[in-house]
């Protein structure tokens, strides 16, 4: 599933504007039944991160939502009164679900999910890229159901990371370093993109687990990624695969 989805991202990578790239990815993900989208590029406030500071940072690129949802009472509630997703930013999470920080069934978040139900949202998948100087690009895509299959969630989030890498580079364009991935690094990272562990990669490529881990870590450092998932996204965003 992930291989096919990544192969369909040319309209995203070739889009002339951030809005066009966001809308192109939403179109690519239509078969999964999304109901809402938000993409954003902003600089994280230097002051303590609060709902108000997070809002004031601005930077919204594209919003797709049910008519009447934006700036409704329910919208304002999850933006200003109950926003558990600030924890994900503080922890520099690159992939997560809304329900990771607002568990379904937890009475403390009953009003939170009731508010989101007004936007036909049962859960959302998120991808976030972190750049220099506190720059952040985020992708939130909502679905009506709360039990998305792990394989679908992983594929959607990885595609989202490709988009956030493109948005981040567009907001702060800098020439890439001359460093390139070796063929073995590219091979190992390509298997990471398929969800394979170091052990599984070692078996597939006929190398030791330590060697597989070495190549993946080198690729991550070369691409300037904070983790393996972001390294995969950067590789796709730069068309290295």
**159 and 59 in a common domain:** yes
Domain that holds residue 201: 183-237
The tokens for 11 are 């309209």
Whole-model pTM? 0.82
**74 and 137 in a common domain:** yes
**152 and 131 in a common domain:** yes
Q: What is the pLDDT of residue 6?
A: 74
- Would you say residue 177 lies in a domain? no
- Would you say residue 119 lies in a domain? yes
Residue 29, pLDDT above cutoff 70 = yes
Domains held by the chain: number:
2
**Of 130, 149, 171, which residue sits at a domain end?**
171
Q: At what angle do helices 183-193 and 228-237 cross, to 10 degrees?
A: 110
Q: Which of 200, 179, 196, 178 is nearest to 232 (CA)?
A: 196
- Would you say residue 85 lies in a domain? yes
The tokens for 83 are 């926003």
The full length of the chain comes to 241
**53 and 119 in a common domain:** yes
- Would you say residue 90 lies in a domain? yes
**37 and 155 in a common domain:** yes
**38 and 122 in a common domain:** yes
**118 and 225 in a common domain:** no
- Would you say residue 35 lies in a domain? yes
More confident residue, 237 or 87: 87
- Would you say residue 176 lies in a domain? no
- Would you say residue 29 lies in a domain? yes
**48 and 135 in a common domain:** yes
Which CATH number belongs to the domain containing residue 233 in this structure? 1.10.10.10
More confident residue, 115 or 234: 115
Which CATH number belongs to the domain containing residue 107 in this structure? 3.30.450.80
**141 and 222 in a common domain:** no
**Are 82 and 109 spatial neighbours (Cβ–Cβ below 8 Å)?**
yes
Q: Which of 141, 48, 6, 158 is nearest to 94 (CA)?
A: 158
**125 and 72 in a common domain:** yes
Percentage with pLDDT > 90 across the chain? 67
**188 and 146 in a common domain:** no
| pLDDT digits 0-9 by tens, 68-124 | 999 999 999 999 999 999 999 999 999 999 999 999 999 999 999 999 999 999 999
More confident residue, 163 or 229: 163
């Amino acid at each position: 599933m992930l291989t096919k989805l990544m192969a369909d991202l040319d309209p995203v990578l070739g889009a002339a504007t951030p809005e066009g790239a966001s809308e192109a990815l939403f179109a690519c993900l239509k078969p999964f039944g999304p109901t809402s989208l938000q993409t954003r590029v902003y600089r994280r406030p230097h002051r303590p991160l609060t709902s108000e500071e997070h809002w004031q940072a601005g930077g919204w690129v594209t919003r797709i939502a049910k008519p009447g949802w934006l700036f409704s009472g329910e919208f304002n509630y999850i933006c200003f009164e109950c926003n558990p997703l600030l924890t994900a930013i503080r922890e520099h999470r690159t992939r997560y679900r809304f329900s990771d920080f607002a568990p379904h069934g937890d009475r403390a978040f009953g009003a939170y999910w009731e508010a989101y139900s007004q936007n036909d949202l049962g859960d959302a998948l998120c991808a976030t890229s972190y750049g220099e100087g506190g720059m952040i690009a985020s992708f939130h895509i909502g679905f009506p159901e709360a039990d998305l299959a792990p394989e679908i969630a992983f594929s959607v989030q990885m595609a989202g990371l490709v988009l956030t890498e493109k948005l981040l580079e567009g907001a702060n364009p800098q020439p890439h370093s001359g460093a390139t991935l070796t063929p073995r690094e590219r091979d190992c990272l390509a298997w990471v993109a398929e969800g394979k562990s170091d052990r599984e990669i070692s078996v597939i490529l006929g190398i030791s687990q330590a060697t597989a881990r070495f190549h993946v870590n080198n690729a991550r450092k070369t691409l300037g990624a904070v983790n393996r998932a972001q390294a995969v996204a950067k590789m796709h965003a730069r068309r290295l695969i």
